[in-house]
């Protein structure tokens, strides 16, 4: 705890870096994963390969994945972001598919029957109804990414992992604890914050999508 008290600026700086990396990664993963999930529900033959590939990527140890990526993306942020995007895809794609599959067939039939086009069905009916499940996937991905991002220090990227790696090198337990503690708090905060955001969005979407 001493390190936290003595170097609040440094810890804050690293926390901001950490949050940035996670936010950018999860953001990209959402932009890729949600459309990919939608695509899978339209062309079912994609489901096996897409979910399978995402699942396999998820099992690759993070340090190994960084190592594999370095020749292509170099030492630095790019490598970390690509890796975190790949890890986040599984939860987001899978939950997008589950959320869309969970909509009652009668609701979809009604959407077609009243004369909604494909895009209108997606925006007015399917995504709003799948949103709680998609958001649960995003939460899962974010919490995992906060943890995995600590390894980023291994490829020279600043973040809370820097404290842990430095602490390990100097046998300075205080630093390790500081990094781990802040990372844990960050993960919990992200989890809680996204849950609240979900509640808000759901209420809001209901209003805006309903009344247009």
Partner 1 sequence: MIALEHVSKAFPGRGPEVRAVDDVSIAVGAGELVVLIGPSGSGKTTTMRMINRLETPTEGRITVNGRDVRDLNEVDLRRGIGYVIQQGGLFPHFTVADNVAVVPRLLGWSRQKRRARAHELLALVGLPPERFADRYPRQLSGGQQQRVGVARALAADPPIVLMDEPFGAVDPITRKGLQKELRRIQAEVQKTIVFVTHDIAEAFLLGDRIVLMADGRVVQDATPADLLRNPADPFVTAFIGEDRGLRGLQFTTLEELAEPAPGAATPGAMVLSGALSILDAGRELGRHGANGRHGTANGFWVADAGGNPTGYVSFQRFAATLGETVGASDADPGSADGGHGGVPA
Q: Does residue 111 belong to the site contacting partner 1 (CB under 8 A)?
A: yes
Q: How far is the CB of 169 from partner 1 (least distance, A)?
A: 53
Q: How far is the CB of 116 from partner 1 (least distance, A)?
A: 6
Chain position carrying tokens 């949050």:
19
Tokens of 125: 């009916």
CB-based burial, 171-206: b 16+ in 10 Å, e otherwise: eeeebbbbbbbbbeebbeebeeebeeebeeeeeeee
Q: Does residue 122 belong to the site contacting partner 1 (CB under 8 A)?
A: no
Q: Which stretch binds partner 1 (CB under 8 A): 47-55, 83-91, 143-151, 201-209?
A: 201-209
Q: How far is the CB of 210 from partner 1 (least distance, A)?
A: 4
Q: Could you say which of 107, 123, 188, 200 contacts partner 1 (CB under 8 A)?
A: 107
Q: What is the distance between the terminal CA atoms of the chain, rounded to a whole angstrom?
A: 51
Q: Does residue 212 belong to the site contacting partner 1 (CB under 8 A)?
A: yes
Fill in the DSSP letter of residue 41.
H
Residues in the chain, overall count:
212
> Which residues of the shown chain bind partner 1 in the complex (CB under 8 A)?
106-107, 109-117, 120, 124-125, 128-129, 205-206, 209-212
């Amino acid at each position: 705890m001493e390190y936290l008290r003595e170097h609040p600026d440094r810890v804050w700086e690293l926390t901001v870096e950490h949050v940035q990396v996670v936010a950018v990664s999860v953001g990209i993963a959402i932009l890729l994963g949600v459309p990919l999930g939608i695509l899978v529900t339209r062309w079912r033959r994609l489901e096996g390969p897409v979910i399978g590939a995402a699942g396999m990527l998820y099992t690759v140890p993070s340090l190994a994945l960084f190592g594999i990526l370095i020749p292509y993306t170099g030492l630095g942020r790019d490598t970390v972001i690509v890796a975190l995007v790949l890890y986040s895809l599984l939860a987001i794609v899978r939950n997008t598919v589950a959320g869309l599959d969970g909509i009652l067939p009668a609701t979809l039939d009604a959407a077609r029957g009243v004369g909604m086009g494909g895009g209108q069905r997606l925006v007015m009916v399917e995504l709003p109804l799948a949103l709680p499940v998609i958001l649960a996937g995003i939460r899962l991905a974010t919490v995992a990414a906060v943890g995995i991002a600590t390894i980023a220090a291994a490829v020279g990227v600043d973040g809370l992992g820097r404290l842990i790696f430095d602490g390990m090198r100097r046998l300075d337990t205080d630093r390790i604890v500081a990094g781990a503690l802040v990372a844990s708090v960050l993960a919990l905060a992200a989890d809680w914050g996204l849950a609240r955001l979900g509640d808000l969005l759901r209420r809001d979407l209901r209003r805006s999508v309903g009344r247009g």
